[in-house]
Amino acid sequence: MTPAQEPLLQVEHLRVELPTRRRTLVAIDDVSFSIMPGEVLGIVGESGAGKSVTGAAIIGLLEPPLRIAGGRVVLGGRRIDDLPYEQMRHIRGREIGAIFQDPLTSLNPLYTVGRQLVETIRTHLDLGPEAARERAIALLGEVGIAAAAQRIDHYPHQFSGGMRQRVVIALALAGNPRLIIADEPTTALDVSIQAQIIALLKRLGRDHGTAIMLVTHDMGVIAETAHRVAVMYAGRIVEIGPVRAIVDAPRHPYTVGLMDSIPRIGGVRGRLKQIDGAMPRLGEIPPGCAFNPRCPLVFERCRRERPELLPSASGAAACWRFAEEGARAADG
């Protein structure tokens, strides 16, 4: 494997635990995936699936008492999950950028966006005040803020929600990171602004080779933006593969349910399907496959044994149906 073919990010058997007074709960259980330079990997699932916790673990921002209890996170060939706080703080911003759902949590309302950008740039790059300001203006222009030379001296409240999200993206790009973790970056925005932010994220990967981990519950955003998608349920990846294969022919029953719940514009439009039930709480994850109480195709093995990801033609899915199909094919 040549260096150009090596993943930028490798997450290997990641386990995140939540200690409580009664017992230790498992928030992320044996999650593995990789992201290539310039690739957008979508992480999708319902609220509580573990998407945001996975992103926070990678970037070193887990809220205590959550903790990484197993596995490895490797960025550019270097393990980063066991680094001291100060070293990880240097990597955040310089090598990994972050975009969060609510831009107001990322922006200080007391400082102009220019001051915040310049401070971030000078923290991570060896630039003087004037050069840093020039780069800040260029970044604002790159993310689509008109009259950037004037707007740089405005405060966050003087920007619309979509423009604030663009400022946050500019902040994430300030240190020229190789990886961006975008956690629900379009959720609070209207559809037209969503499309612009999606186009911007795609351009970052295409033009700068930036790897992007896009966390969302919106399969429409995933279908429009990602190259590959990992579907999470109850702290585990239940299906992973190329986005077109999963959108067009999902294999795991949970992924099928997610796809069936998306309204269709063309073709026959009947009643929208839904996935009955709800995501289990951390302390109530059932034995066997965690999805089995909600699965329309459940059989006895699903309730007893937990399936690992089983390879398919284009990806992998954690469902005993495929093991059963493989066994029948072998017998036939």
Report the pLDDT value the prediction gives residue 230, as an integer from 0 to 100: 97
CA angle 131, 208, 4 (to 5 degrees): 125
pLDDT at 71: 97
How far apart, in Å, do the first and last CA atoms of the chain sit? Answer: 37
Q: State the DSSP H helix or E strand holding residue 250, giving kind and residue range, or none if neither.
A: none
pLDDT value of position 267: 61
pTM of the model: 0.91
**pLDDT at 25 exceeding the cut of 70:** yes
Q: What is the mean pLDDT of the chain?
A: 90
Q: In this model, does residue 270 exceed pLDDT 70?
A: no
> What pLDDT, on a 0 to 100 scale, did the predictor assign at position 274?
82
- Residue 330 pLDDT exceeds 50: no
150-159: per-residue pLDDT in tens?
Answer: 999 999 999 9
| Residues sharing a CB contact under 8 Å with residue 74, sequence separation 6 or more, in sequence order | 9, 10, 11, 12, 80
Angstrom distance (rounded) from CA 81 to CA 75: 9
As a whole number of angstroms, the distance between CA 319 and CA 257 comes to: 14
> Would you state the pLDDT for residue 118?
97
| Model pLDDT for residues 32-52, shown as the tens digit of each residue | 999 999 999 999 999 999 999
Q: Which position has the higher pLDDT, 235 or 191?
A: 235
Question: What tokens does 270 get?
Answer: 């009947």
Please report, for the chain, the start and end positions of each structural domain, with discontinuous segments joined by +: 105-176
Q: What is the pLDDT of residue 326?
A: 52
pLDDT band at residue 4 under the 50/70/90 scheme: low
Q: What is the side-by-side order of every strand in the sheet holding 9-19? A: 24-35, 9-19, 67-75, 78-79
Give the model's confidence band at 325: pLDDT under 50 very low, under 70 low, under 90 confident, else very high.
low
The rounded distance, in Å, linking the Cα atoms of 244 and 228 is 8
pLDDT in tens, 274-304: 888 999 999 999 999 999 999 999 999 999 9
Answer yes or no: are the C-beta atoms of 177 and 5 closer than 8 Å.
Answer: no
Query: 34: which residues sit within 8 A by CB, 6+ positions away?
Result: 7, 9, 10, 11
Least confident of 161-165, 259-263, 319-323: 259-263
CA-CA distance, 85 to 88, in Å (whole number)? 5
- Per-residue pLDDT at 328 exceeds 90: no
Task: State yes or no: pLDDT of 191 exceeds 70.
Answer: yes
* Pairwise CA distance, residues 26 & 313, whole Å: 31
The band of 161, judged by pLDDT with boundaries at 50, 70 and 90, is confident
- Cα 257 to Cα 279: distance, rounded to the nearest angstrom: 13
Q: Which residue in the block uniquely carries the two structure tokens 């007893």?
A: 304
The 8-class DSSP code of residue 155 comes to: -
The pLDDT-based confidence of 266 (bands split at 50, 70, 90) is low
Q: Is residue 49 within 8 Å of residue 233, measured between CB atoms? A: yes
Greater model confidence, 101 or 301? 301
Residue 2 has pLDDT above 50, yes or no: no
**Cα separation values, 307 from 12, 48, 235, 246, Å:** 18, 20, 14, 19
- The predicted pLDDT at position 3 comes to 47
Kindly report, residue by residue over 51-95, the tens digit of the pLDDT: 999 999 999 999 999 999 999 999 999 999 999 989 998 899 899
The confidence score (pLDDT) of residue 261 equals 78
